[in-house]
Chains A and B, each alone.
Chain A
Amino acid sequence: MASAVNAIFLEQARVLVQELEEGNEQKADQLLDEITNLRESSLYQELGKLTRDFHNALNSFKADARISRIAGEDIPDAKERLKYVIKMTEDAANKTLNVVEGAFPVCDSLSSDANEMKDAWDRFSRREMGADEFRQVARKMGTFLENVTRGMGDLKSGLNDVLMAQDFQDLTGQIILKVISLVSEVEENLVNLVRISGQNLTASDPEEIEQEEKRMKEQLAGPIVPGVNDSGAVSNQDEVDDLLSSLGF
Chain B
Amino acid sequence: MKILVVDDMSTMRRIVKNLLRDLGFTNISEADDGKTALPMLQTGDFDFLITDWNMPSMQGIDLLKAVRSDDRLTGLPVLMVTAEQKRDQIVEAAQAGVNGYIVKPFTAITLKEKLDKIFERIEG
| Contact, CB under 8 Å: A237 / B11 | no
Compute how far the CA of A103 lies from the CA of B111 in the bound complex, rounded to whole angstroms: 21
Partner pick for B18 among A101, A221, A222, A244, CB 8 A cutoff: A101
| Contact, CB under 8 Å: B106 / A237 | yes
- A76-116 interface bits toward B, Cβ cutoff 8 Å, 1 = contact, 0 = none: 00000000000000100110010011001000000000000
| Contact, CB under 8 Å: B91 / A243 | yes
Choose the segment among B29-37, B68-76, B79-87 that binds chain A (4+ C-beta atoms closer than 8 Å): B79-87
Partner pick for B91 among A94, A97, A104, A247, CB 8 A cutoff: A247
| Contact, CB under 8 Å: B94 / A244 | yes
| Contact, CB under 8 Å: B14 / A243 | no
> At the interface, yes or no: B104 with Cβ under 8 Å from chain A?
yes
- On chain B, the residues within 8 Å of A100 by CB distance are 18
Compute how far the CA of A220 lies from the CA of B91 in the bound complex, rounded to whole angstroms: 14
> At the interface, yes or no: A234 with Cβ under 8 Å from chain B?
yes
| Contact, CB under 8 Å: B53 / A220 | yes
> At the interface, yes or no: B102 with Cβ under 8 Å from chain A?
yes
Compute how far the CA of A195 lies from the CA of B60 in the bound complex, rounded to whole angstroms: 44
Compute how far the CA of A222 lies from the CA of B53 in the bound complex, rounded to whole angstroms: 9
> At the interface, yes or no: A232 with Cβ under 8 Å from chain B?
yes
Compute how far the CA of A175 lies from the CA of B85 in the bound complex, rounded to whole angstroms: 28
A-B pairs with beta carbons under 8 A, tally: 63
Compute how far the CA of A174 lies from the CA of B91 in the bound complex, rounded to whole angstroms: 39
Across the interface, name the chain B residue whose C-beta is closest to A90: B11
| Contact, CB under 8 Å: B94 / A234 | no
- On chain B, the residues within 8 Å of A101 by CB distance are 14, 18
| Contact, CB under 8 Å: A221 / B84 | yes
Compute how far the CA of A221 lies from the CA of B91 in the bound complex, rounded to whole angstroms: 15
Tell me the B77-100 residues at the A interface (CB within 8 Å): 83-91, 94
- On chain B, the residues within 8 Å of A240 by CB distance are 85, 90, 101-103
- A214-249 interface bits toward B, Cβ cutoff 8 Å, 1 = contact, 0 = none: 000000111110000000111111001001100101
Compute how far the CA of A104 lies from the CA of B22 in the bound complex, rounded to whole angstroms: 9
Compute how far the CA of A78 lies from the CA of B86 in the bound complex, rounded to whole angstroms: 29
Compute how far the CA of A237 lies from the CA of B79 in the bound complex, rounded to whole angstroms: 14
Compute how far the CA of A220 lies from the CA of B8 in the bound complex, rounded to whole angstroms: 15
> At the interface, yes or no: B112 with Cβ under 8 Å from chain A?
no
Compute how far the CA of A235 lies from the CA of B87 in the bound complex, rounded to whole angstroms: 10
Compute how far the CA of A100 lies from the CA of B84 in the bound complex, rounded to whole angstroms: 27
Compute how far the CA of A232 lies from the CA of B92 in the bound complex, rounded to whole angstroms: 13
> At the interface, yes or no: B15 with Cβ under 8 Å from chain A?
yes
Compute how far the CA of A243 lies from the CA of B87 in the bound complex, rounded to whole angstroms: 8
**A248 CB → nearest B CB, Å:** 9
Across the interface, name the chain A residue whose C-beta is closest to B91: A247
Q: Which 5 A-B pairs have the closest CB atoms?
A: A223-B83, A93-B11, A97-B14, A233-B86, A220-B54
User: Given A222-B83, A234-B86, 19 other A-B contacts at CB below 8 A?
Assistant: A93-B11, A94-B11, A97-B11, A97-B18, A101-B14, A220-B59, A223-B85, A224-B85, A232-B86, A233-B86, A234-B85, A234-B103, A237-B102, A237-B103, A243-B87, A244-B94, A247-B91, A247-B94, A249-B94
Q: List 12 A-B contacts (CB under 8 A).
A: A94-B10, A97-B11, A100-B18, A104-B18, A220-B53, A220-B59, A222-B54, A234-B103, A235-B85, A240-B85, A244-B101, A247-B91
Q: Which positions in B face A, CB cutoff 8 Å? A: 10-11, 14-15, 18, 21-22, 53-54, 59, 83-91, 94, 101-104, 106, 110
